[in-house]
Amino acid sequence: MQQTFAEATWPTAFSSDIVRSAFGGGRLSSYCLALEAWRRGLEVTYTRADLHCFTIADGERRVAFDCSRPDSLTAAEDHARLDSKWESKRILGGRGIPVPRGVLITDTDLTDAQLAAHADAIGVPLVVKPASGSMGYGVSAGIRSVPDFISRYRHLVATYPDQAVIVEQHIEGDDYRVLVVGDRVVAATHRVTAHIVGDSVHTVDELVSRKTADRKANPYLSSGPTPRNDDTAALLDEQGLTWTSVPAAGRTVMLARNASSSLGGDTVDVTDSLPDAMAQAAVDAVAAMPGIHIAGIDFIHDPAGTGGFAILEMNSRPHIPLNMYPTHGTGPDVPRAMIDHFFPDSRRSGRVADDSLTLSLETVQQTLLARRASAVTLMPLPGHGLPARLEWTLPPVATTILRRLTRRKLLWRSAAHGVSGVLRRAKDGQVTVMLAAEDAAACRGFMDELVEIVREPFGLPAGVVLDDPVPWDGPVSVGFAVL
């Protein structure tokens, strides 16, 4: 089963409710991988307070990850070689893998004549970009004149004064991110430049606000709002529009020049329709880089014209949610593919209820931030998977204040019953309790104790009888919390 959102379908095992605590942040990749491993019964240990770095172990093998990158399996120099846009380009070109022709400029203090000579040698249109970096920052593409190239080059050098610069051929086509794990393409995404479509009713500003609201529901795109800046205003002006214009129905209005999803772009899953030649080039590219097990590979592809393609760059630590949470199409289950690769002897349990198991990492993060431990290993998931899941609603109470000692007693008794769950206190005095355990009897046994523990502080009458519980199908994490 999968979660469907608007025109997209996302993996049910990593639905928006399950990964909400990691929404939009750099830790979404690590969260999804750690969750997949933990559900399989593998040992997960966090080693850094930002929760980007963690290890997964099965008793025989231990792999240390930095987000999606298996650091312990690849030497630092191998990662650096892949992440170097120029070095990877040189290696791929030497293997006959298509890359744009270009030049690396390390001494960036060039005259206009020297820059013009580079432009003439490569030929317009051009791309100018920092030699390192990600997410489309600093990239100018589609430069069609030498004066424009010189202007954008000087702006880039002023913005990134310590960076070498790559000037290369601009190849017309669509932007693709292909994810390779081992020797297999596991996902491919077409990145579409940020835009809106008119409806003859709403202004540009209103349509942009609506699109930004839609993006906030996407676990990956929620941190990349639709652009609203001076560059956007200039691009609107080129299209004869302003923020208050009402575009005609069906008219496409461009909002950016770069297809990066972090700059407001959309994402379309094309895993099943990726041309065989591109898939093979992606696999060959990873094989050409020593020691690399996973890479995100950025292609430019011209499906409507020649059908040609070229690799623009590679990333050793790709954001796997980019592929998992498209705005259109079906997002592949990347964590499953990755853990299958690195721990092939592990398997999912096959229990449907496991899809709603999630991780609560606040205490882990607090412990690492306070430097009370250098590493924190998660409690393993009980073998039964907490199949009994029930929710109770208490009668309205006058106060929801609980002393620290009372809260601790609830934690102790929940552990004694083998029960996980949460007690939620709303500002209006409504209290709900969600419990999960091996069977309903364990849930009911702890619930009886819970009512006695909170009776006095909540002002519950003696002999209060609770309504029967209802099934709970929301997220479940191991442990008990009072919220």
Q: Which domains does the chain have, with CATH numbers?
A: 2-68+334-377 (no CATH), 101-169 (3.30.1490.20), 388-482 (3.30.70.100)
Residue 226 pLDDT level (bands cut at 50, 70, 90): confident
Strand-by-strand arrangement of the 69-70 sheet: 69-70, 62-66, 53-57, 43-46, 376-377
DSSP 3-state assignment of 166?
Answer: strand
Residue 270 structure tokens = 């094309």
E strand or H helix that includes residue 205: helix 204-215
Residue the block writes with tokens 């690849």? 74
Interval 328-343 mean pLDDT: 97
Strands 53-57 and 43-46, how do they pair?
A: antiparallel
362 compared with 5, residue with greater pLDDT: 362
Q: For 399-452, what is each residue's pLDDT tens digit?
A: 778 899 999 999 999 999 999 999 998 878 789 999 999 999 999 999 999 999
DSSP per-residue codes, 245-261: --PPTT-EEE--SS--G
Task: Quote the CA–CA distance of 140 and 27 in Å, as a whole number.
Answer: 28
Please give the pLDDT value at position 1.
39
Number of neighbouring beta carbons within 10 Å of residue 115: 18
Give the Cα-Cα-Cα angle 460, 466, 467 (nearest 5 degrees): 145
E strand or H helix that includes residue 165: strand 165-169
In the DSSP assignment, the letter for residue 89 is H
pTM of this structure: 0.90
Residue 19 structure tokens = 């990964």
Q: Return the minimum-mean-pLDDT range out of 92-101, 270-279, 280-289, 397-406.
A: 397-406
To the nearest 10°, the Cα dihedral for 70, 343, 31, 67? Answer: 10
Strands 309-315 and 294-301, how do they pair?
A: antiparallel
